[in-house]
């Protein structure tokens, strides 16, 4: 328990020292939501909610705000997690080789991801509530949280093979554009194409649109989010275990663990 | 023998780095391994530490192990004090008396609450070394451990190394320069993927 608490505490502390991410959180996220609200037209816009098949009418500014906030939290949490994973990769390996419980370290990483995604999502929805009253605010938080978690896990996943923060950031931006742009019911003519159900943010956008403009709850789109989250997390966690294993020589004999328990 | 290496081989793709490396080191011995850049010294130490897999051969280490990698492997955002706490958990140490004493001896105490990213290269290297020593391992593998040290710290390092030897610890030091051969019990040169005994040894305290 102490191993988990210490690792989680230090991990969150280190995350809170990422100045660029904090600036993005404080400035970029509210700016994006504000710009979406003020620049996009408030005219009602008809679109078909794929999750339920019904036709809804909603203000273009509100739809753009939902889409923009999903985009902003995705980029921010993805970058934050990528940056943290790149920073600690070699150190985690040394720490586990020295005997640090891998399960505790892993649980600490998941806690960090969940805490970051929750804070960022609540903050983003808080800003949206300044401009607009969605019909189901709780569901909106859940939808934004799903996007944050997926992109956070994607940050961990991308850190496995991309060398630096610039590469990670560019990759996350490109993925987010490819993910969200074709789904936007205001801007895209592709929003009705069945292939969009396969995109990482499909579940979040559909759930957020439901939360904003209906009193109903269709949870099917969140199954898509859950599948993405499970797949990316599983790959990232498997890679963590692979990365932190030790390599005894083919016929190595050791009298104990590499860095064994030592009573003093 | 505390450390026995038998016919270890390693290649990266078509490039053979270690052909056939064998080594036997007894308790309380201070051994140096030198070689040119790219000779495979770091590869050998990484294999001995378990950080890297070998293609063939056997390694036997009788006791606890401490490994100091060539470049500081630390968390830039954490302080030296926080590193001690993490490795205290990793090594399951009841206290940090030994680590505190090493902090004082290597002059790290004034920096113990500063994030690693604000420390100089030499100061980071001190922490890198202390993390490998703080659990008083029976076998120590040190890869260029005094890079960036000033003269005083360099001398402190050798003082610590000799104290470890007197306490029966086994120390293997890798270096690309054979500066300190007179301080060692034995010296080996890594060349052509093999370890060759080298002359000019004879430990001084």
| Structural domain of B198 | 1-63+140-148+169-205
Tell me the pLDDT tens digit for each residue of A36-57.
888 888 888 888 788 777 888 8
Taking the C-alpha atoms of residue B114 and residue B81, their distance in angstroms, rounded to an integer, is 9
Please judge whether B57 and A13 are an interchain contact, meaning their C-beta atoms are less than 8 angstroms apart. Answer: no
Cα–Cα distances (Å) from B100 to A95, A249, A262, B69, B107, in that order, read: 19, 34, 18, 21, 10
Size of interface A-B (CB pairs under 8 A): 117
Residue B70 belongs to some domain of the structure: no
The neighbour count for residue B13, using CB atoms within 10 Å, is 5
Please judge whether A247 and B73 are an interchain contact, meaning their C-beta atoms are less than 8 angstroms apart. Answer: no
Please judge whether B57 and A262 are an interchain contact, meaning their C-beta atoms are less than 8 angstroms apart. Answer: no
From chain B, the residues in CB contact with A91 under 8 A are: 73-75
Q: Are B134 and B91 in contact (CB under 8 A)?
A: yes
pLDDT at A191 over 80: no
Taking the C-alpha atoms of residue B186 and residue A69, their distance in angstroms, rounded to an integer, is 65
Taking the C-alpha atoms of residue A133 and residue B47, their distance in angstroms, rounded to an integer, is 61
Instruction: Mark which residues 101-140 of B lie under 8 Å from A by CB.
Output: 115, 131, 135-137
Tell me the pLDDT tens digit for each residue of A104-130.
999 999 999 999 999 999 999 999 999
Residue B51 belongs to some domain of the structure: yes
Instruction: Mark which residues 12-71 of A lie under 8 Å from B by CB.
Output: 13-14, 17
According to the model, what pLDDT value does residue B178 have?
A: 65
B167: burial class by Cβ within 10 Å (0-12, 13-18, 19+)? exposed
Residue with tokens 């120590």: B140
Mean of the pLDDT values across residues A62-91? Answer: 92
pLDDT at B202 over 60: no
Nearest-CA neighbor of B115 among A100, A23, A18? A18
Residue B158 belongs to some domain of the structure: no
- B108 against A188, higher pLDDT: B108
ipTM for the predicted complex comes to 0.90
Nearest-10 crossing angle of helices A60-97, B80-91:
60
pLDDT at A258 over 50: no
CATH of the domain at B34: 3.40.50.300
Give chain B's mean pLDDT. 90
Residue B2 belongs to some domain of the structure: yes
A200: burial class by Cβ within 10 Å (0-12, 13-18, 19+)? buried
Taking the C-alpha atoms of residue A118 and residue A21, their distance in angstroms, rounded to an integer, is 15
Q: Where are the alpha helices (DSSP H) in chain A?
A: 2-15, 19-23, 29-39, 60-97, 102-131, 137-158, 165-180, 202-213, 220-243
Taking the C-alpha atoms of residue A121 and residue B56, their distance in angstroms, rounded to an integer, is 51
List strands edge to edge, sheet with B56-61.
A253-254, B56-61, B3-12, B15-25
CA B186 to chain centre: 16
Judged by DSSP in three states, A192 sits in: coil
A23: burial class by Cβ within 10 Å (0-12, 13-18, 19+)? exposed
Please judge whether A6 and B86 are an interchain contact, meaning their C-beta atoms are less than 8 angstroms apart. Answer: yes
pLDDT at A190 over 90: no
Residue B134 belongs to some domain of the structure: no
Confidence of residue A264 (pLDDT cuts 50, 70, 90): very low
As for how many domains chain B has, the answer is 1
Per the document, the length of chain B is 205
Residue B11 belongs to some domain of the structure: yes
Please judge whether A98 and B91 are an interchain contact, meaning their C-beta atoms are less than 8 angstroms apart. Answer: yes
DSSP structure string for A107-167: HHHHHHHHHHHHHHHHHHHHHHHHH---S-HHHHHHHHHHHHHHHHHHHHHHTTT--SHHH
Taking the C-alpha atoms of residue A174 and residue A33, their distance in angstroms, rounded to an integer, is 20
According to the model, what pLDDT value does residue A218 have?
A: 84
According to the model, what pLDDT value does residue B201 have?
A: 53
In a mutational test of the A interface, the residue from B87, B90, B101 whose CB has the highest number of chain A CBs within 10 Å is B90
Q: Are A129 and A137 in contact (CB under 8 A)?
A: yes
According to the model, what pLDDT value does residue B91 have?
A: 95
Contacts of B111 (CB under 8 A, 6+ apart): B80, B119, B123
Tell me the pLDDT tens digit for each residue of B1-23.
899 999 999 999 999 999 999 99
Nearest-CA neighbor of B97 among B84, B108, B107, B106? B84
Taking the C-alpha atoms of residue A92 and residue B42, their distance in angstroms, rounded to an integer, is 20
Residue B26 belongs to some domain of the structure: yes
Nearest-10 crossing angle of helices A137-158, A165-180:
140
Taking the C-alpha atoms of residue A96 and residue A162, their distance in angstroms, rounded to an integer, is 22
Confidence of residue A254 (pLDDT cuts 50, 70, 90): low
- Exposure b/e, B122-132, CB count within 10 A at least 16 = b: bbbbbbbbbbb
Residue B17 belongs to some domain of the structure: yes
């Amino acid at each position: 328990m102490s191993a988990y608490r210490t690792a989680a505490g230090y991990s969150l502390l280190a995350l809170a020292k990422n100045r660029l991410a904090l600036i993005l959180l404080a400035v970029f996220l509210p700016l994006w939501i504000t710009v979406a609200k003020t620049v996009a037209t408030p005219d009602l816009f008809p679109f078909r909610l794929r999750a339920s098949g019904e036709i809804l009418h909603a203000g273009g500014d509100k739809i753009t705000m939902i889409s923009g906030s999903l985009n902003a939290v995705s980029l921010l949490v993805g970058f934050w997690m990528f940056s943290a994973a790149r920073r600690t990769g070699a150190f985690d390996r040394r720490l586990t080789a020295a005997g640090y419980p891998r399960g505790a370290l892993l649980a600490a990483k998941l806690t960090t991801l969940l805490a970051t995604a929750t804070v960022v999502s609540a903050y983003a929805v808080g800003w949206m509530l300044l401009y607009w009253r969605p019909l189901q605010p709780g569901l909106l938080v859940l939808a934004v949280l799903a996007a944050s978690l997926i992109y956070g896990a994607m940050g961990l996943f991308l850190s496995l093979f991309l060398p630096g923060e610039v590469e990670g950031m560019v990759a996350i931006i490109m993925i987010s554009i490819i993910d969200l742009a074709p789904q936007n019911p205001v801007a895209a003519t592709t929003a009705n194409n069945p292939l969009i159900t396969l995109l990482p943010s499909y579940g979040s956008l559909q759930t957020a649109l439901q939360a904003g403009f209906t009193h109903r709850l269709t949870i099917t789109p969140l199954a898509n989010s859950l599948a993405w989250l499970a797949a990316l997390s599983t790959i990232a966690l498997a890679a963590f275990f692979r990365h932190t294993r030790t390599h005894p020589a083919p016929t190595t004999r050791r009298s104990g663990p590499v860095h064994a328990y030592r009573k003093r | 023998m505390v450390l026995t290496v038998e016919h270890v081989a390693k290649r990266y793709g078509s490039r053979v780095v270690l052909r056939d490396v064998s080594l036997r080191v007894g308790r309380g011995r201070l051994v140096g391994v030198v070689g040119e850049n790219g000779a495979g010294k770091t590869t050998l130490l990484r294999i001995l530490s378990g950080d890297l897999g070998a293609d063939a051969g056997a390694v036997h280490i009788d006791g606890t192990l401490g490994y100091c990698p060539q470049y500081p492997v630390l968390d830039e955002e954490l302080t030296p004090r926080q590193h001690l706490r993490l490795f205290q958990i990793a090594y399951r140490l009841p206290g940090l008396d030994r680590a505190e004493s090493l902090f004082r001896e290597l002059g790290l105490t004034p920096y113990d609450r500063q994030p690693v990213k604000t420390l100089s290269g030499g100061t980071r290297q001190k922490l890198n070394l202390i993390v490998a020593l703080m659990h008083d391992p029976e076998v120590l593998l040190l890869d260029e451990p005094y890079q960036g040290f000033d003269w005083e710290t360099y001398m402190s390092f050798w003082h610590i190394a000799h104290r470890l030897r007197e306490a029966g610890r086994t120390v293997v030091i890798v270096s690309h320069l054979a500066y300190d051969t007179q301080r060692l019990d034995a010296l080996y040169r890594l060349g052509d993927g093999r370890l060759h005994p080298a002359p000019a040894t004879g430990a001084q305290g």
